[in-house]
Amino acid sequence: MGLVRFLTKTPGIVAFLARSFLCIIGLLLTFSKPACKAFNLDVENPAVYSGPNGSYFGYAVDFYLSDSGSASVLVGAPKARTKQFNVTEGGSVFYCPWSSSQTDCHAIKFDLEGDRNVLLNDTNYQADFKSHQWFGATVRSHGDTILACAPLYSWRTKEDIPHSDATGSCYLSVENFTNFVEYAPCRTEISGPSGQGYCQGGFSAEFTKDGKVVLGGPGSYFWQGQVISAAKEDIIRAYYPGYFIQAVSGQIQTKQAHSLKDDSYQGYSVAAGEFSGDGVEDFVAGVPKGHMLYGSVRSLNHHSHFGFHLSMGSYFGYAVATTDINSDGMVDLLVGAPMLMVRSSHGRLEEMGQVYVYLQRSPLKLESRLPLTGTQVFGRFGSTIAPLGDLNLDGFNDVAISCPFGGEDQQGLVYIYNGYSEGLRQKPSQVIRGQWAAGTIPASFGFALRGAKDLDMNGYPDLIVGAFGINKAILYRSRPIVNTSASLTVSPTMINPEEKNCILTTGNSSIPVSCVNLSFCISADGKHLPKNLDFQVEVQLDSHKHKQKGAVKRALFLDSQQPLLPMTVRLNHGQQVCQHKRIYLRDEKEFRDKLSSIYVALNFSLDPKAAADSHGLMPLFTWKTTQSMFIYGGIYLVTQLIIWGFLCFVFLFPWVLSDRKEVYLGDDNSLTLTFNARNEGEGGAYEADLYVVLPPEADYIGIARNNETLTQLTCSYETENQTRYLSCDLGNPMKSGTNLWAGLRFTVPRLKDTHKTIQFEAQIRSKNENNSHSEVVASKLEVIVKADVILQGVSRPDKVFFPPANWKLTKNYNVEVDVGPAVEHIYELVNNGPSRISHTLLELRCPFRVQGQTLLYPLESPIISLCDSQRLAHTHLLHPESRLHPGHFPHHCFEVQTLPYAQHSLMNHLTQQHTHSSTTPPHTKL
């Protein structure tokens, strides 16, 4: 198997004598908050080990540091094929040396035999079953000793009926692979599920500091589970090839308990740590289904329960780990519950997982701290917990916690948590993301973790991450950490702009300017750093001005006449380097801001192009400062005046007048607002602006230029938080006694009939410390609806002679001609604006009857149309909700057709040549 290397992805203003002074005050040192995505584990250049496809290479991992000083990685592949005779997927453990030239992983030859046979009652039986035994599912090392287990190993019991028990079996490699011994403590005469027949010894395992082997067998005694321990020396002495059952001197193990403890899975996870105060390490076992499925953790040496969880089915005890995280000299306990359910913000229970932290305050007394909670649903946060040692050399041990099915594509996550005096910090300092896509099964990045060993001998512990779903193990090495200190000083502490103590040379001219001295120093140290460290340094004058559009930098470097000084500084390990520069103040006419602080920022970072250390790793700053550091110094322009010992205040008064009192709905409504701005105080108002807030209906179109008595202001049109306003410069300073008149022109084209008034607001604002803002004055305009509407009409024909020629009076009407001639009236309604009108009713009155007899009657309903378009027939008059817009639909026409309705009684009052005139339309009402 090859080794593959690749990239993964205030100031209080100090008042002084009557002119402006520069006051240089103390320095403020600030650090950027660290990002959680990276710290000192090198994720850019990991060492990636790959195993055979489908072998589950990476299911278990550990370091191997032999007495000879060589370093390597151990990787379990429980489904790997072996050369054992007649064994299918027996499993293997791979040895991967760490070296820049070594790229191969080799299978360690723990067991070369196939299945063994025994003679029982004169019959030869298969004694053990090594196919699919998952050898390599558990791997641990201690010095030159390696422990590898096959928890699904089965053997033929002494029962008369052929039967096999999944007792589990382990092998020890000692003295650098020169000797191999088998250790199967559950392969006893107490067989079957009621005994140790389903023990699965080696499901979990650990070494104590003095080399004792601790095995977990969660299947013993109807899955009550048990923990077994023996010294490796005693295991080696008791081993005799060919013997299946061996008695190991000094071996201890938990015994069968009451049947209420059945199905508890004691030994699902194991760890070792000193909790009793006697100086002897105790065994800790996870019992994830104990206490009626709530889960618990037991200290086996003293039969103590350290705690059990209050959420059923969380698998509390799935993982356990011990380390001193708060550096008080006592071992602390961490417990994983990867299936814990947490109620989300939507009220639903979601599987997030938690890790519980217990600080040891005294022997057998643990204090529960705030648990760490996962953020990935079904990510199984807390499946594996690995002590890392002091990863960042801050004096506190750190911890890695896996979330093997977390991430956007369930590729797996590993969280790094830093220890401190009160436990583990709640936010991870680094999150390592799996970079490999899942195949037929999830990548399971983080399913196996191992740390706390320095593989490359650079003085920092490293981390191995297993991802058996993609048959890989990844080594992340720790980068060396640089501790830096810096200082920034400006002197003298006070400067008078009237005192020109420097000469600025520009071309052939020399200009006296006011200067101050600027100095900065940088030093760096740390453990196992390269001899030389290169820093990229940047000093920025008036640094806060880069956030303001178009702002002028008020201070510049004397030699370059620029506000920015970039440079590269090389430091030897432990050395301090200082630089001295002079900076000068621009002429006061060149900038407006004479009140706010002039900040000097020192920004420095490690040069990314610098050479790596002897181990090929780039140093980095401690996580408290990230990759860049900023130091600020302040230079303050002092502009408040003191006369005879008293502060001079400003009193600002605005006044506004409009050239019209009302605006019309539908009109552009051009208007001019005349403003008067006065400073009646004793002092000047610095950076004084006229601040005018516009109503949503208005637009600014410019300043008034038709009056020479008005000041021509310079205004900017801005929008802030959806509020539009004008900011007009009134002077810097706006001196005492200033009385300005100015006109601003607006249009109001977007009026609505839902508002009765609109309002402009004006205020004078300055940056003085006292009385900096005037009161707000308003100009309110009334919204008026005004419409010039004209109604006119015509009759066609304009005259009707009745009775018409050749017309005979008849009682029976067969056609319209029998009734009389038709008369058509056309009315035109014109809206000349400016406002639209609505809710309009046109009322028509016609002489339908004369002397009680019918004269006219309508032939059809009115026809409503636009006068300049095709007529549209409607069955109603002008709709009450219709609106007539000035200019857009200026003319509406209404046609009414009627017929004279003649009867004998009416004709008695008319002569043969009587004329019915329709020159004047019927009476109308609008």
* 108 vs 164: which has the higher pLDDT: 108
Average pLDDT over residues 129-143: 96
Same CATH fold, 652-784 and 21-36+481-639? yes
CA dihedral 84, 86, 88, 93 (to 10 degrees): -10
Write down the residue that tokens 């009745």 correspond to.
802
Asked if the model's pLDDT at residue 16 lies above 50, the reply is no
Structure tokens at 775: 């009161």
* 589 vs 817: which has the higher pLDDT: 589
Beta bridge partners of 149: 138, 170
> Which tens digit of pLDDT belongs to each residue from 294-324?
999 998 875 566 665 568 899 999 999 999 9
Spatial distance between the Cα atoms of 769 and 871, rounded to a whole number of angstroms: 71
Average pLDDT over residues 205-227: 96
Of all residues in the chain, the percent with pLDDT exceeding 90 is 42
> Which tens digit of pLDDT belongs to each residue from 67-89?
666 789 999 999 999 999 999 99
Report the CATH superfamily, name and number, of domain 652-784. Answer: ntegrin, alpha v. Chain A, domain 3 (2.60.40.1510)
Structure tokens at 491: 């002197």
Predicted confidence band at 199 (pLDDT cuts at 50, 70, 90)? very high
Average pLDDT over residues 2-30: 36
43-47, 169-173, 655-659, 883-887: range with highest mean pLDDT: 169-173
Spatial distance between the Cα atoms of 403 and 630, rounded to a whole number of angstroms: 35
Predicted confidence band at 751 (pLDDT cuts at 50, 70, 90)? confident
Of all residues in the chain, the percent with pLDDT exceeding 70 is 82
Mean pLDDT over all residues of the chain? 81
Fold of 21-36+481-639: Immunoglobulin-like (2.60.40)
Decide: 863 and 848 in contact? Cβ < 8 Å: no
Asked if the model's pLDDT at residue 154 lies above 80, the reply is yes
The pLDDT value recorded for residue 36 is 39
Average pLDDT over residues 864-880: 44
> Which tens digit of pLDDT belongs to each residue from 766-807?
877 777 788 888 888 898 888 888 888 888 888 877 777 777
Predicted confidence band at 582 (pLDDT cuts at 50, 70, 90)? very high
* 646 vs 502: which has the higher pLDDT: 502
Of 155, 183, 149, 182, residue with least CA distance to 167: 155
Asked if the model's pLDDT at residue 873 lies above 70, the reply is no
DSSP 8-state assignment for residue 875: S
Asked if the model's pLDDT at residue 644 lies above 70, the reply is no
Asked if the model's pLDDT at residue 624 lies above 90, the reply is no
Predicted confidence band at 664 (pLDDT cuts at 50, 70, 90)? confident
Of 126-140, 242-256, 635-649, the one with minimum mean pLDDT is 635-649
The pLDDT value recorded for residue 847 is 78
Of 216-225, 576-585, 838-847, the one with minimum mean pLDDT is 838-847
Sequence-distant (6+) residues with CB within 8 A of 695 are 748, 758, 759, 760
Fold of 787-925: Immunoglobulin-like (2.60.40)
Predicted confidence band at 183 (pLDDT cuts at 50, 70, 90)? very high
Decide: 286 and 270 in contact? Cβ < 8 Å: yes
> Which tens digit of pLDDT belongs to each residue from 345-379?
888 999 999 999 999 999 888 999 999 999 999 99
Decide: 568 and 579 in contact? Cβ < 8 Å: no
What ranges do the domains of the chain cover?
21-36+481-639, 652-784, 787-925
